Amino acid sequence: MTQATPTVHAVLQRDDVKRESLLTLLARFGLELVETETTSNIPGSFWGDEEAGLIENRLYARPDTPIHSILHEACHYICMDEIRRSGLDTNAGGDYDEENGVCYLQILLADELPEMGRQRMWADMDTWGYSFRLGSAQAWFEQDAEDARAWLLAHNLIDPQALPTWQLRKQ
């Protein structure tokens, strides 16, 4: 009898993490995970293919959707103001400062998923092709993300110790 070899993905995918951990994390922000079939298009996906989608407070993902994509879209929802959140359908919008805040927060939230953590998030972000001036997500996070931290702090999305406040941006 041979044992099945676990599938190793280039990046951690939805099926690689405990569903309950992901549901609990998203629910803290009022987000509902809607799972679709691997062969179907993902509603609300800005990038298409296996990338996560957002419509209102529903985050759509397939079993092959990367966790970095799920957390990135969740953080867009968290970081946008109430007006944009109320009409959300596919394009999260936002400016440069908000996008930096989204990237920083997704790294923090990665620590809430036992299978992920920030080290794996940095590696997966680099693999997918997030671009940072210092050449890697980790270098950006540790050496060049003061503006992202300040933005998140100003919007009460992290506390002074850079821990999530579990709140949504108000305005």
pTM assigned to the model:
0.91
Whole-number pLDDT of residue 8: 58
In sequence order, the β-bridge partners of residue 53 are 45, 60
In a domain, 8, yes or no: no
Single-letter code of the amino acid located at 24: T
In a domain, 160, yes or no: no
Q: What is the pLDDT along the chain (171 residues), one digit of tens a residue?
A: 445 445 556 999 999 999 999 999 999 999 999 999 888 899 989 877 889 999 999 999 999 999 999 999 999 999 999 999 999 999 888 899 999 999 999 999 999 999 999 999 999 999 988 877 788 999 999 999 999 999 999 999 999 999 999 999 998
**Residue 85: how many CA atoms within 13 Å on its side-chain side?**
20
CA distances for 4 relative to 1, 7, 49, 100, 137, angstroms = 10, 9, 27, 40, 33
* Displacement of CA 144 from its chain's centroid (Å): 20
What span, in angstroms and rounded, lies between the C-alpha atoms of 17 and 14?
6
In a domain, 165, yes or no: no
In a domain, 83, yes or no: yes
Single-letter code of the amino acid located at 61: A
Number of domains within the chain:
1
Question: Could you count the other beta carbons within 10 Å of the beta carbon of residue 123?
Answer: 17
In a domain, 123, yes or no: yes
In a domain, 163, yes or no: no
Give backbone dihedrals phi and psi of 55, rounded to 5 degrees, phi first.
-140, 120
What span, in angstroms and rounded, lies between the C-alpha atoms of 16 and 1?
25
What is the extent of the structural domain holding 30? 14-154
Whole-number pLDDT of residue 5: 47
In a domain, 24, yes or no: yes
Question: Could you count the other beta carbons within 10 Å of the beta carbon of residue 131?
Answer: 10
In a domain, 43, yes or no: yes
